[in-house]
Amino acid sequence: LTTFIVIGIVISLPTTLYVFLKNANAMTDGWTDYTQITLYLKQDVTLQKSTVWVDQLKQRKEFERAVFISPEQGLSEFQKKAGMGNILDDLGSNPLPAAIVLTPTQKYATEENLQTLISQFETHPHVMVAKLDFQWVRRLWAAIRVAETGAGVLTLLFALTVLFVMGNTIRLMIEDQRREIELIKLIGGTHGFIRRPFLYMGVLLGGGAGIIAIVIVAIILRVLQNPVNDLFSQFHAQFTLKGLTTFEHLQVLIVGILLGWVGAWLVTTWRLRQIRPE
């Protein structure tokens, strides 16, 4: 029972981390809606040319919206957000250029596609500066990639931990039945014959630990759902934590069984070579 629980907890740790990363990726999928490309136009681009180009951009499949902002609208919005009142009116002329704000569709709102679009717009004759309002999303994705790499390393370490715990448990079982093993060897029992019940026990321990890990992950998600709802309610949004799918449940179970089998095989092979009938 102790081995079941210990190995189940160990398997549940990388599994829980995987579930958190999956939910983090699900959350960022919706945040790409706030990604925008801002094109600041050159001063010699007329209103007619700008309007024609905006209509052309609206027809492109990469963009969900294309909004033209005149220099006057840009100045008014800047004054409102900066809280400067009418101070900028003393400048005599409007220093802000016209701009086009593009909102990409979710399909094209990826880092690679957006960088490609920016490169195209930077060489366009109408564009003075092309700016990608994507830095915060890029930093978030970079953090998720770091977490995914760390999760891979931790998963490897946890797998080794399971092998050692499983191996130690099987080793104790072998020592407990050492006399029986010596007797079987004396009457001609092969290593494969002696090893088989220990492999069955490794599979049983690994499979049971996998089931315990699945239950632990489900409990963690159930406990965290209310705090997550409270957090997202502050942003007038709602998010439901996604648990393991049926296929992922099967994967956890298979991983537990494989780790149990491998751990039992390694230890029994090593110990049976050392046990010699006296």
Tell me, what's the pLDDT at 262?
92
pTM: 0.64
Distances (CA, A) of 130 to 35, 47, 115, 179, 202: 14, 18, 11, 79, 60
Determine the Cα–Cα distance for residues 184 and 178; give it in Å rounded to an integer.
10
Mean pLDDT of 231-251: 82
β partners of residue 36: 133
**Whether residue 253 has pLDDT greater than 90:** yes
In the chain, count of helices (H) and strands (E)?
Answer: 8, 4
Distances (CA, A) of 268 to 149, 176, 189, 259, 265: 33, 13, 14, 14, 5
> What backbone torsions phi and psi does residue 77 show, to the nearest 5 degrees?
-70, -40
State the pLDDT at residue 32.
53
CA distance 160 to 205: 15
Q: For the chain, give the mean pLDDT.
A: 83
How many degrees, rounded to 5, is the angle at CA 45 between CA 92 and CA 103? Answer: 100
Instruction: Provide the pLDDT for residue 247.
Output: 93
pLDDT digits (tens, 9 = 90+) for 107-138: 777 777 878 888 888 888 888 988 876 666 67
Residue 128: in which H helix or E strand, if any? strand 127-133
The reported pLDDT for the residue numbered 213 is 92
* Burial (Cβ within 10 Å: 0-12, 13-18, ≥19) of residue 81: exposed
Best mean pLDDT range from 41-55, 98-112, 241-255:
241-255
φ, ψ of residue 124 in degrees (nearest 5) = -75, 140
Range list of β-strands (E), 50-112: 63-69, 99-104
Over range 207-225, report the average pLDDT. 92
